[in-house]
Structures are given as C-alpha cells and as structure tokens.
Amino acid sequence: MATIATSVADTCAAAKRAARALAQLDTAVKDGALHAIAEALLARSDEVLAANELDMQAGRDAHIGDALLDRLRLDESRLAAIAAAVRQVAALADPVGEVIDGHRLLNGLDVRKVRVPLGVVAVVYEARPNVTIDAAALCLKSGNAIVLRGSSTAAHSNAVLAQIASQAAVGAGLPEGAVSLVAGGGREELAELATQRDSVDLIIPRGGEGLKDALQAVATVPVIYAASGNCHVYVDASADIEQARAIVINAKTQRPGVCNAAETLLVHERIAAAFLPTMLDALADAGVTVRADERTRALAASLWQDDSSRAAAGNDATTAGAAGRRAPHQMIEDATERDWATEYLAPILAVAVVDCVEDVIEHIARYGSGHSEAIVTRDTAAARAFQLGVDAACVYVNASTRFTDGGEFGMGAEIGNSTQKLHARGPIGLRELCTFKYLIEGDGHVRA
C-alpha cells in the first residue's frame, strides 16, 4: 500500500475522507491499530535501522553536526522506546467524546460541551524520525488523520516508518489515508501543504526558526508552532548548592540538542561565590563551553588566583592539584548580546550573575522563548514571584527543564511543545489535538 500520493492535494483529500471515518471509530479499534503499529515497528526493526543508516551516512557526509545527527539517529533501544510510547498512548483515556461541561438550561434544554477530533492534522518536522510515529499515534488515538512531511535529512527513515504505520493501521481496521506522507518536494511543496484549507485543519511545524519563518510567510491553514527553546535555570540566593548543581548539569548535558535543554544559567550574586567555582568545574568536566558576563568572569579569575596561591603555599591540600587544572577564567568566553538570545542545541551555556529575582524575570522576558524556565530556591516568596512573573509554557521550581516532554507529563508522547497561548500551550498531546462541539437536546423546543 502506498503511503505517498501523487500530489499534496490528493494526499490531503484522502486524509479528509479518512478523518470523517476516524472520528466515528470506537476506542478499541483505534487502540488495536496502535498496538499493531508497535508490533510492526519491532518486527521490521532491521528495515527501519537500515534506512536510518542511509540517512545517518548522508548526514555525516554533509557535515550536519553532532546535535542534528543525534536527533536523526535510531538504534534498537530508541526504536523499542518509540514502540513503547505507542503502547502508552493506546493505554491512555480516549479524549474523543469526553464531556467538558454540561448543564440544563432554565428552558429545559440539555447542553453538553464534548471533545471531538480536529480532523486532518499536518505535521512538518526536521531530522527527528521518531516524530513520524509519535505524531501518528497521537493523531490516530485522538481520531485525527495525519499528513506527515519530514525533511530530506531523514527521508529514508521517514518513508519506512510512515509505510509501517500506515499498513499496520489499515490492517487493523482504520481507513485508507489515515496516515500518509508527502515527500520529495521543496519549499513549493511546503507552501502547497500550508494552503490546503479545504482539507487540512491544522499544521504543526516541529523544527528550527527557518521552518517557522517559511510557514509564517505562506500558511493559510491554522498553525501551532512547536517552537524553539531558549530555556533558563536561575539559582536563587537560598538555593541548595548540591541540588542546584545537579539540576544545572542535567538541564544542560543530559541531552543538549533538544528544545528543553537549558541554554542560560543565572546566579544570584549572594550565592555566586559559593556556587560558581564548583559549578564551572563541573561544566568543564562535562565538556560544556561557558559564555559568561563580566561579573562571572571576574569572580572566576579571582577565585582561581586565591586557589592557586594556596596551592603554591601548600596551605590547602585540597587545592594542591589546582595548578594542573585549567583555571575557571580559562574555561569561559566573553558573552555577547547575541548569546543571551541563542538556542545553542549544543554543549554551550551562557552564564550571568544577577542581583534579584526581579532581574531574572526581566531577563527571561527579554530573551526567553516562552518554553521552559526553572528556579532553584528554598525561598517560597522567590518561588512564587518566579511562577507568577515568568511567562512560559512550563515553569519549574527545584526541577530540571528536561521534564518538559509529553511522555514525562504522562501524555504517552507529544508532537511538540507549543510556546503559543492559543489553542495549545506546552506539550501537544491527545487533548491538544481535539476541539469541541456543543450537543444540545430538547423536546420540541422553539425559541420565543
């Protein structure tokens, strides 16, 4: 069965027909299709991994960079995790038909606000082949047909994954066109997809600012932007230093090439002298390049001079090896204005010393992308000020920004993380792929 139609318009029209049937399917049928997809992924893993290696080799030849290669790479473990995520989506409650609100009017009419599928969802994404399956699973469970448009970087991987998902879904009773892939075109194809107003109900782009800009220029279909993440961790004056260090290292290094990784560290001036020396050492040990403001650089240089003097005098055994290490002021580079607004997606971290939580809120308002922001503190007033003052989809207290993820939030998977405010914000899961309608029941009612 072909998963790639002869034209974008044909693909979207077939998806529209499938969407009408999908919206009426029982939960058991949709769940059965998801389990069939998970089983097929594992059964055909050799085929998937062979296709992925073609993309990886092409990426290496094109020097696309380690961060992009990491997003592109599939292995047995990652494929098993993708299949497990599909099963997790199947295990979640079906949002379709959920009664959001209901009441009886004084005139006796019964009014219910009920969740329903959007219809046809197009997902445009770069590099990550796992999105092919994550997005398909979420759309099918929520009763939507999906049109996938990946990048040329992952063309072989996406083609095999989309074919597996489509064949398994149709074999389990879902309509033809429920899962489809458009591929082979450039910006013209993207523009055509973004203007299919008669058949596509929503487009979700998942990629860099270039993709976002390209869609904004042409889209007539509604768009939810799964946008970039310039995420911050703020270490407050009252923070537990060990806890703060662990959170910063996790937020920056656990997987630096993703949108919920920290890109900027802000440290209160009252804790900076106690916190930054070991924090800078830990970042250097993790291979992270630091781009710091003047206060951070001055503090690092001063602390190094003190440690070096004590080591030379033999007064402190714990600093005896300091002369053999790279000095903190040698580990860091000067931060420029551009650094505060940059999503590095790499082992690079901007660092600044600040005077108060209000300065942090202002800094995030100026440079942040509205994705995920974190404060480490034992001061409830500071935590509350941060929660109320920071305008972002996800705001953390004493936790890493890396938890911003549909799977971590109990959604099974996600299509992306929205930094918009309408109609979805944060991880885009099952409920975010639905709209609603009002069902009104009467008994011969007419309006006076």
Identify the band that residue 308 occupies on the pLDDT scale cut at 50, 70 and 90: low
Average pLDDT of span 19-47: 98
- Contact indicator for 47, 160 with CB cutoff of 8 Å: yes
Q: Comparing 189 with 271, which gets the higher pLDDT?
A: 271
pLDDT band at 320 (very low <50, low <70, confident <90, very high): very low
What gap in Å lies between CA 183 and CA 147, rounded to an integer? 11
Q: Region 208-231: what's the mean pLDDT?
A: 88
> For residue 319, what pLDDT is reported?
44
pLDDT category at 262 given cuts 50, 70, 90 is very high
Mean pLDDT of the 112-130 span: 95
CA distances to 15, 162, 328, 411, 429 from 140, rounded to whole Å, are 12, 13, 52, 14, 12
Residue 12, pLDDT above cutoff 60: yes
**pLDDT at residue 4, rounded to an integer:** 44
Residue 210 confidence (pLDDT)? 83
Average pLDDT over residues 20-36: 98
Residue type, 333: E
Q: Which pLDDT score is estimated for 232?
A: 98
Mean pLDDT of 212-219: 90
- The predicted model gives 382-397 an average pLDDT of 98
Domains in the chain and their CATH numbers? 8-226+415-441 (3.40.605.10), 231-403 (3.40.309.10)
Q: What is the pTM of this model?
A: 0.85
Of 102-111, 117-126, 220-229, 235-244, the one with minimum mean pLDDT is 220-229
Query: Among the listed ranges 99-113, 136-150, 179-193, 300-314, which one has the minimum average pLDDT value?
Result: 300-314
Mean pLDDT of the 144-162 span? 96
Q: What is the pLDDT of residues 423-443, one digit of tens each?
A: 899 999 999 999 999 999 999
- pLDDT category, 314, cuts 50, 70, 90? low
Distance, CA of 419 to CA of 414 (rounded, Å)? 14
325 contact partners, CB below 8 Å, separation of at least 6: 281
Tokens (6 digits) for 443: 């008994």
pLDDT at residue 321 in the model: 42
Is residue 363 over pLDDT 60? yes
User: What is the percentage of the chain residues whose pLDDT exceeds 90?
Assistant: 79
CA dist 401 and 248 (Å) reads 9
What is the model's pLDDT at position 293? Answer: 97
What are the tens digits of pLDDT across the range 406-428? Answer: 889 988 788 889 998 888 999 99
Read off the pLDDT of each residue in 298-311 and give the average, rounded to a whole number: 67
Write out pLDDT tens, residues 54-67: 999 999 999 998 87
